[in-house]
Amino acid sequence: MSFGVGSVAYGIKDNGFATFLLLYYNQVMGLPAATVGTVIALVLVVEAFADPLVGYLSDNTRGAWGRRHPWMYGSALPVALGWLLLWNPPAGWSQGALLGYLFGAALLVRLALSMFEIPGAAIGPELSSDYDERTRLFAYRYLFGWIGGLAMLFLAYVVFLVPDATHPVGLQNPLGYSRMALAGAIAMAGAILLSSLGLHREIPHLPPAEPQEASLAAHFAAFAQTVRNKAFLILMLAGVFAYSAQGVSFALSNYMYSFVWRFEGADLMLLPLVLLIGAGSAFVLAPILTRRGDKNRAAAVLVIACGVLLAGPYLLHWLGLFPAPGRPSTTYLLFAIFAVNTAAGVAGFILGASMLSDVTEDSQRRTGRRSEGVFFAGSFFVQKLVGGLGTFLAGQILALAAFPANATPGAVSEDVVERLAILFAGVVFAGYGAAGVANWFFPFGRAAHAERIAAVRQATGAPR
């Protein structure tokens, strides 16, 4: 449970960046969508190149609190501070100055959270080497991440981003974003500290840092060697496609809800509950699907299904084969599709994280090193580079669709909305489909993992 609860902070951050940040700086602050998307993408690129350093520090830290906990504890305050700054930009600044402010505040949040998330995730394979137990551990991590993100999404729609006398569209209410930022900062810092404290008792049982003093150059050489691991490379290729599609989906979700499907206040209030049902189902579904089989096959089917379910309604709507937007029956049908789509997508990501844990012993057998921090830094490196690509693509999709700033639902031409929907559907379907194909070719499953664990234990003299 403690391993999972820290992901509440990651979920709040992901929800804010992916769902609201582009919208806020475009529709509220009046900056061009394509430019905002580019700035956010640049932040993720810079952060991605810092992640190997975080992995190095985590793998090589020595002290009474072990390798991971000093960085986990130390991240709480800067995460909260950065989150407050991000959603409270100065008034009266020029567009160029605001873009610079966005870059700095966003980078602070993401670097600080990396100090928690990389060491925190690296603890997972250290807690258990069991093939199925790792899936359950990462199921908790994803469940809490979605709970954090969806709880903040619910509060955003119901409490914070609501219309007032001067802002008839709640999503364009700047005061609501400030209040949401304060609540998020408190929740993120609290989750980080709660997780760190809960895992503190595990410190004596976790592997210590390697006795030799590895230089930073040696660490980056190890990082490069990690990238050459075939299983890791396949997972990262799947991640490139999946996280690109997810980044586009999250960044444009509010545009889709409001302008394509014509969701209103009550619909947006129910939506987080629908998505939470899907994420909760994934928590149960992922371990069941791999109880006797291999993770990669199940992950491939789930991710492809996610792409079909996500893109399908937009393509059917374009072909005139889907019920008209704005009707209660259409909304309920969409809710059902969204729940199943979320279950498939989250379960696929859970299995991907579990497979990454299994790669650690493959690397240990080949190199003689335990490098969980390197592996998860590599994973986050790809995830963030590609997440930036997803946000960048979202901004370009809005530009290609000629979508206006400060738009009001119902007042945008049907041609523009239709163009937006088709571009969105094509990109997410292609991304998730390619990710599923890559997962299918992951090179080992349950039997090979069991053999590898036995070999590692024999080589290290660890108890069976």
CATH number at 203 reads 1.20.1250.20
What lies within 8 Å, CB to CB, of 300 at 6+ separation is 436, 437, 439, 440
How many whole angstroms separate alpha carbon 281 and alpha carbon 342? 9
**For tokens 């449970």, what's the residue?**
1
pTM over 0.95: no
Residue range 169-180: mean pLDDT, rounded: 90
What pLDDT is attached to residue 50? 84
Nearest C-alpha neighbor of 432 from the set 244, 289, 254, 235: 244
Per-position DSSP letters for 218-237, written without gaps between them: HHHHHHHHHHT-HHHHHHHH
Q: How many residues does the chain have?
A: 464
Q: Is the pLDDT of residue 456 over 70?
A: no
- Give CA separation, 67 vs 121, 122, 332, 366, in Å: 12, 10, 48, 23
Convert 61-95 into a string of H (helix), E (strand) and C (coil): CCCCCCCCHHHHHHCHHHHHHHHHHHCCCCCCCCH
How many whole angstroms separate alpha carbon 426 and alpha carbon 124? 35
How many whole angstroms separate alpha carbon 169 and alpha carbon 405? 13
* Residues 137-153 pLDDT 10s: 888 888 899 899 989 98
CA atoms within 13 A on the CB side of 247: 28
Q: What sign does the dihedral 244-57-11-104 (CA atoms) show?
A: negative
Q: How many domains does the chain divide into?
A: 1
Q: What sign does the dihedral 148-149-150-155 (CA atoms) show?
A: positive
**344: its two tokens:** 């498939």
Mean pLDDT (the chain) is: 86
* Residues 107-118 pLDDT 10s: 999 999 998 988
Confidence of residue 241 (pLDDT cuts 50, 70, 90): very high
* Residues 378-405 pLDDT 10s: 777 777 777 667 878 888 999 999 998 7
What pLDDT is attached to residue 463? 46
Percent of the chain with pLDDT over 90: 46
**93: its two tokens:** 């600044």
420: part of which helix (H) or strand (E)?
helix 414-440
Nearest C-alpha neighbor of 370 from the set 357, 381, 383, 382: 357
Confidence of residue 61 (pLDDT cuts 50, 70, 90): confident
The answer to whether the CB of 217 falls within 8 A of the CB of 116 is: no
Q: Is the pLDDT of residue 459 over 70?
A: no
Q: Is the pLDDT of residue 277 over 80?
A: yes
How many whole angstroms separate alpha carbon 442 and alpha carbon 336? 31
Choice between 456 and 407, residue whose per-residue pLDDT is larger: 407
Confidence of residue 370 (pLDDT cuts 50, 70, 90): low
Nearest C-alpha neighbor of 143 from the set 41, 254, 311, 7: 7
What pLDDT is attached to residue 209? 57
Q: Tell me which residue range forms the domain holding 212.
A: 2-460
Q: Is the pLDDT of residue 213 over 90?
A: no
**64: its two tokens:** 């009474």
How many whole angstroms separate alpha carbon 413 and alpha carbon 392? 24
Q: Is the pLDDT of residue 175 over 80?
A: yes
Choice between 219 and 31, residue whose per-residue pLDDT is larger: 31
How many whole angstroms separate alpha carbon 365 and alpha carbon 354? 18
Per-position DSSP letters for 389-413, written without gaps between them: HHHHHHHHHHHHTTPPTT--TT-S-
Q: Is the pLDDT of residue 461 over 60?
A: no
Q: Is the pLDDT of residue 171 over 60?
A: yes
What pLDDT is attached to residue 64? 79
What pLDDT is attached to residue 222? 66
What pLDDT is attached to residue 71? 85
> Which range, of 74-78, 206-210, 247-251, 459-463, averages the lowest pLDDT?
459-463
Residue range 91-101: mean pLDDT, rounded: 93
Confidence of residue 250 (pLDDT cuts 50, 70, 90): confident
**For tokens 């664990």, what's the residue?**
453
